[in-house]
Structure 1
Amino acid sequence: MDYRTFQLQRREDWEAFAAGLAAAGRARREALAFEDLERLAALHRRVISDYAYARARFPGTAATRRLRQLAFAGHRLLATRHRPLGPRVVRFLLRGFPETFRACGASIAVAAGAFLLMTATGFVLTALHEEFAYLFLGPSAIEGLRRGTLWTDSLTSVMPPELLSGRILTNNISVAIAAWAGGALWGTFSAWILCVNGLLLGSVLAITLRYGLLGNLLTFIAAHGPLELTLIVVSAGAGLELARGLIVADVRPRRAVLREHARRSVRLVLGVAPWLAVLGFVEGFVSPRDDIDTGAKAALGAVLLAAFLAWALSAAARDAGTEAEGEMP
């Protein structure tokens, strides 16, 4: 059969299948009648058969490309399971995120190591050269330290807790997204965010220690600091996981490798997002308050960190596969 005859004889089925796909796209698959699904499935089998024939006899032609598109579109409609959002969210929370967290353990460990190294570097540099702290705090903040006051002392007097909480939440989300998206630049921007935040933390610890205000700083960050730093590291780890898909060689096609690592990185960020909202509330309403005991703040910080780690490392995902089906996203 020549190319023209092939098109003339088979085009009617192709157009019928394309029309069926268009109609199905305007309604949920579950809403289609059984007869309509049967007809679509039969047409899909013919399209697959025609595609195999066209790929062998007429490679690179318009008909072959068209059949390939129809075959894959039909597979997405007929073979993909459509489940309600609620069960998918529950599955993600109970199994998807913990499994992904462990699968990305190497990337998260690298991020944690880099962050700790930069924190130590920032501490040592500031301890040796106080001027290094000016890169992060500025003259007014350091002048306040010399007078015995932290820049955090006036937070609630500058803006109400509700506004402060919203701004903190926005900032935390921005940092997390930037740390993750930086993986698209082969991990360079994710690494940069780790370095900057690590140097900042180390420098702040050293300069407050120099002026005898380290205890005040630790009191302020006790409720939110441990989890916040952990989430920054996990977000940067998500960026490094994305970078692995771009850099690491594999016997599989590059697109398949990138898709796998990208999905993992997105799941990590999705799992971090709700905790950032919790941190925004804690940092806006709890951390700045002087009437809350330091021990209570420290206990809250420990509970938040323990809850996150218990979830991320939970046994609920031990029996899950490396890629649980139907998870978000």
Structure 2
Amino acid sequence: MMSPERFEAERASSWGELDALVRKAGNKPEKLGAAGVRRLGELYRAAAADLAFARRRFPGDPLLTRLEPLVLRGRAAVYGRSGTRQSLWQFVSRGYWQRLAERPWLIFAAWALLLGPGLLGALWGLLDPPTAAGLMPAQFQGAADPPVEGRDYDAAEASAFSASVMFNNIQVTLIAFAGGIAFGAFTVWALVFNGLILGVIAGLAIGAGNGVAFLRLVSSHGPLEFSCIIVGGIAGLRMGWALIRPGTLRRSTSLRREALPAVEMAAGTIPWLVLCGVLEGFATGPELPVWLQASLGFSLAALFWTLVYVRGSRGTSRAGTAPRASRAASPAALR
């Protein structure tokens, strides 16, 4: 029968090596080099397994008081983050985009939840305008009414409508992000309902002969705002999926593990939402040609998703690395 003394004797060399690597790494595991980081991960996982075994077999034994601090320090070394300045720069230049690219299936899921109802809503607005109009919030009712012949929306109408669209999309982005803590239900609802509403508005506007005017009001900032909504949806779906499929972890632990990446994505999206506000204020209305407004909006959205691919998914593959928190969360990356 295994005794605490025999168990400690058999595992002491591995624990000693882990202790030495943790001390050498300090708060910068990269000092260990690629092989050292992999070895650190292996030893930490082994020590964590030893601690779980010891807690079951030797509860209350003094062995635990020696092993638990080692595992905690090992966890801090594996999961810790580097200095603030370096982390901030890495996050702005690459980390944010890698966060978005970590779960490609969530990107497709979020777009499907937004665009699918959007297309159905547009068809509904075209084929059955009276019924579809009843779904629209009051601030969007003007989209169904064409301007008087010979004029476009006036400045007040344009400003009020485009601002309503922008603030609605920002609100939906926040709801999609926060809705993840409700097992993703509110995230799915926010994406589906907002896609349906925007589709109905577009369908009503086109059916009323107001398509060009509608395009003028939303094209400069709308595509980028939709991208921000998708980011909020990805963040919310990450948290929701962590609660639905926690694996071997407790749901609270699984949620905490996904909450940090989700918050990072939300924080990294703020500058893009600010840019949307600038575009809404200075690139909306009759002053600019509609082709220029549409080109600006779709070009910015294309730039955003190109960065996700180049700085995120392809950048990760080319460098052979991922953000540090992601590597720590994935044992496979430390093998």
- Indicate the TM-score class for this superposition, using the shorter chain for normalisation: 0.5 to 0.7
Instruction: Quote the offset at 1:218 in angstroms.
Output: 0.8
Partner of 1:39: none
The equivalent position to 2:297 in structure 1, one of 294, 298, 301, is: 301
Please list every run of 5 or more consecutive structure 1 residues that lacks an aligned counterpart in the other structure.
Answer: 1-28, 31-47
Instruction: Measure, in 1, the Cα distance between the counterparts of 2:140 and 2:275.
Output: 30
Q: Structure 1 pair 194/80, CA: closer, same or farther in 2 (3 Å)?
A: closer
Instruction: Quote the offset at 1:117 in angstroms.
Output: 1.3
Instruction: Quote the offset at 1:213 in angstroms.
Output: 0.3
Contact kept? 2:221, 2:276, Cα under 8 Å: yes
What per-residue deviation string (whole Å, max 9, x for no partner) do you get for residues 125-155 of structure 1?
Answer: 2223223223214399359715548878525
Partner of 1:207: 204
Q: Structure 1 pair 304/123, CA: closer, same or farther in 2 (3 Å)?
A: same
Instruction: Quote the offset at 1:83 in angstroms.
Output: 3.7
RMSD: 4.0
Equivalences, count:
273
Partner of 1:268: 265
Instruction: Quote the offset at 1:57 in angstroms.
Output: 8.7
Partner of 2:36: none
Contact kept? 1:99, 1:322, Cα under 8 Å: no
Partner of 1:59: 59
The equivalent position to 1:231 in structure 2, one of 222, 228, 231, is: 228
One-letter amino acid of the structure 1 residue matched with residue 211 of structure 2: L
One-letter amino acid of the structure 2 residue matched with residue 243 of structure 1: G
Secondary structure at 1:135's aligned position in 2? coil
Instruction: Measure, in 2, the Cα distance between the counterparts of 1:260 and 1:192.
Output: 24
Partner of 1:100: 99
Q: Structure 1 pair 85/154, CA: closer, same or farther in 2 (3 Å)?
A: same
Instruction: Quote the offset at 1:284 in angstroms.
Output: 1.9
One-letter amino acid of the structure 2 residue matched with residue 134 of structure 1: G
Q: Structure 1 pair 241/56, CA: closer, same or farther in 2 (3 Å)?
A: closer
What per-residue deviation string (whole Å, max 9, x for no partner) do you get for residues 278-318 of structure 1?
Answer: 11111122113x11122221221132112211211114332
Partner of 1:292: 288
What per-residue deviation string (whole Å, max 9, x for no partner) do you get for residues 90-110 of structure 1?
Answer: 212333223222222111211
Instruction: Measure, in 2, the Cα distance between the counterparts of 1:183 and 1:112.
Output: 16
Instruction: Point out the structure with max Rg over C-alpha.
Output: 1
Contact kept? 1:112, 1:233, Cα under 8 Å: yes
One-letter amino acid of the structure 1 residue matched with residue 280 of structure 2: E
Alignment of 1:80-229 (within 5 A): 83-131=82-130, 132-138=132-138, 141-142=141-142, 145-146=145-146, 148=148, 153-155=155-157, 172-229=169-226
Q: Structure 1 pair 151/71, CA: closer, same or farther in 2 (3 Å)?
A: farther
Instruction: Measure, in 1, the Cα distance between the counterparts of 2:274 and 2:206.
Output: 30
Contact kept? 2:126, 2:203, Cα under 8 Å: yes
TM-score (norm 1): 0.67
Instruction: Quote the offset at 1:269 in angstroms.
Output: 2.1
Contact kept? 2:121, 2:200, Cα under 8 Å: yes
Partner of 1:21: none
Q: Structure 1 pair 322/143, CA: closer, same or farther in 2 (3 Å)?
A: closer
Instruction: Measure, in 2, the Cα distance between the counterparts of 1:169 and 1:126.
Output: 21
Q: Which moved more, 1:192-201 or 1:90-99?
A: 90-99
Instruction: Measure, in 2, the Cα distance between the counterparts of 1:157 and 1:98.
Output: 32
Instruction: Measure, in 2, the Cα distance between the counterparts of 1:121 and 1:206.
Output: 9
Please list every run of 5 or more consecutive structure 2 residues that lacks an aligned counterpart in the other structure.
Answer: 1-26, 29-47, 327-335
Partner of 1:38: none
Contact kept? 2:184, 2:240, Cα under 8 Å: yes
Instruction: Measure, in 1, the Cα distance between the counterparts of 2:175 and 2:240.
Output: 14
Contact kept? 1:108, 1:238, Cα under 8 Å: no
Instruction: Quote the offset at 1:77 in angstroms.
Output: 7.1
Instruction: Quote the offset at 1:241 in angstroms.
Output: 1.6
What per-residue deviation string (whole Å, max 9, x for no partner) do you get for residues 178-234 of structure 1?
Answer: 101111111110111111111111111111112100111112212111111122122
Alignment of 1:36-55 (within 5 A): none
Instruction: Measure, in 2, the Cα distance between the counterparts of 1:95 and 1:140.
Output: 38
